[in-house]
Structure 1
Amino acid sequence: MDDFRGSVIPVLAFTALDKNHEAQPQVTVSTVYGSDHGDLVTPYGTSIDILRFSGTGAYDAADVRVTVQSAAAARIPAGLHDVKTQALDGDGHEITKFERFSAVRLTNEDDIPVSVRIAYILWDQPLHGDTQQATEVTPIGGLTRIPAHGTAVVEVTADAAAEASRNSNRAAVSLKAYKSQ
């Protein structure tokens, strides 16, 4: 249980860098999971977020400089495993994330309960050698608590259902759960 006590809520600032590691002040960096505004809960050790780049030269960003603005202890620990997502149809049957789905089943493999949010991500289709960008991010439901070694089902909101319907059968979508509070 000691590993879970180090869960934190970071607020990070990102500066886009070009291939020469020069700052790109015209490029804005934001995040999908919210590490830039305190939505992401990270476990002890390491965590990830998905970065989004916008502005003139966004596709020229080759790296980022990260500055920790603050870090607070999390009320709810993050756990060590990623929460698994499974798209479900209106009858509760498993389907792919590329189809029109009505709900998302979340599975927690950790020994502790965790709280997550779900992001439905539409990715662009870059040319070979270019970086892939998240072009649209739609939240699915709200903050959801999942028991230890348990599951929870989140119904898709009307806005999220419209987005999933519009993007169904596209090759570049993701359905991601991330630890939050």
Structure 2
Amino acid sequence: MERRQTLIAGWVVVVSLAAIMTGVTNWSSKPAKSALSFAYQREGGDNYISQTLAIKNANKESVVPVLAFTALDQNGDPLPGVHVRTVYGSDSGRLVVPYGSGLDILRFSGAGEHQVYDVRVTVKRVAAAKSRAGRSPVTVQELDGAGHTVSKFSRFSAVRMTNIDPYPVTMRVAYLVYDQPAEGETQQAVSVTPIGGLVRVPGGGSAVVQVTGAAATAVARYSGGPAVSVKAYDSQ
């Protein structure tokens, strides 16, 4: 379950009306690597995502990190045969993390992939985001060809994203397929397919993205499966 905190305790922030409406703010300070901290959660429990990385951002702005990961075993020793990738792109500068906290999902492959109990995170670089991330999660609803709401487990034709914040946000959408792990192993995304590209969702409004190309192929293949998910995340 993704949660986003935007509390600014003890701060008085004055932002122009234009900044509120556009989501663009000008910051005089450069974001600091040291203002980012991380917590890896191996198992999420029933109906929650496993292998998540919580990213705490103490910078007073939305940031775009580029992270590097080292997989660790139960004793905290590195697993050199394990390759770590992300779903939302915190390792490639795709994920925008708001002030407060954000989230990514990790994927493991290679020898020892089922032995990962923790990760070591290195911040390679961090930059201010081009636009502000949302305070509230953008909701996702799957649609059929006639625009009616349907289940994510069906063969849907489009995705509607709704933004309740008063300013626009830029988002990406991913279609995730999870494995069915053996007892004691964590569930991870074995297939991640983008739906569309970078999408601007207006403040207090919605945007619809059509499911085409590789995304349509993936939905056709995995619809009706027991472990699929459609996720929207702040990006640029």
Name the TM tier (shorter chain).
over 0.9
Which consecutive residues of structure 2, in runs of 5 or more, have no partner in the other structure? 1-11, 16-22, 26-60
**What SS does the aligned partner of 1:145 have?**
strand
Counterpart for residue 50 of structure 1: 105
Q: 1:34: Cα distance to partner? A: 0.3
Counterpart for residue 52 of structure 2: none
Which consecutive residues of structure 1, in runs of 5 or more, have no partner in the other structure? none
Query: Take 2:136 and 2:75, find their aligned partners in 1: how far apart are those partners?
Result: 36
Q: 1:129: Cα distance to partner? A: 2.5
Mark the structure with the bigger radius of gyration.
Answer: 2
Q: Give, as a single letter, the amino acid of the residue that structure 1 aligns with 2:185.
A: D
**What SS does the aligned partner of 1:39 have?**
coil
Counterpart for residue 64 of structure 1: 119
TM-score with structure 2 setting the length: 0.74
The aligned runs of 1:139-154 (5 Å cut-off) are 139-154=194-209
Query: Take 1:54 and 1:18, find their aligned partners in 2: how far apart are those partners?
Result: 14
Query: Take 1:167 and 1:156, find their aligned partners in 2: how far apart are those partners?
Result: 14
Q: Give, as a single letter, the amino acid of the residue that structure 2 aligns with 1:36.
A: D
Query: Take 1:23 and 1:108, find their aligned partners in 2: how far apart are those partners?
Result: 40
Q: 1:131: Cα distance to partner? A: 0.3
Q: 1:25: Cα distance to partner? A: 1.2
Q: Give, as a single letter, the amino acid of the residue that structure 2 aligns with 1:88.
A: L
Q: 1:172: Cα distance to partner? A: 0.3
**Which residue among 63, 70, 84 is the counterpart of 2:139?**
84
Query: Take 2:183 and 2:150, find their aligned partners in 1: how far apart are those partners?
Result: 29
**Which residue among 135, 146, 154 is the counterpart of 1:99?**
154
Cα RMSD over matched residues?
1.5
Percent identity between the two aligned chains: 57
Count of residues in Structure 1 that have an aligned counterpart in Structure 2: 181
**What SS does the aligned partner of 2:217 have?**
helix
Query: Take 2:102 and 2:223, find their aligned partners in 1: how far apart are those partners?
Result: 29
The aligned runs of 1:162-181 (5 Å cut-off) are 162-181=217-236
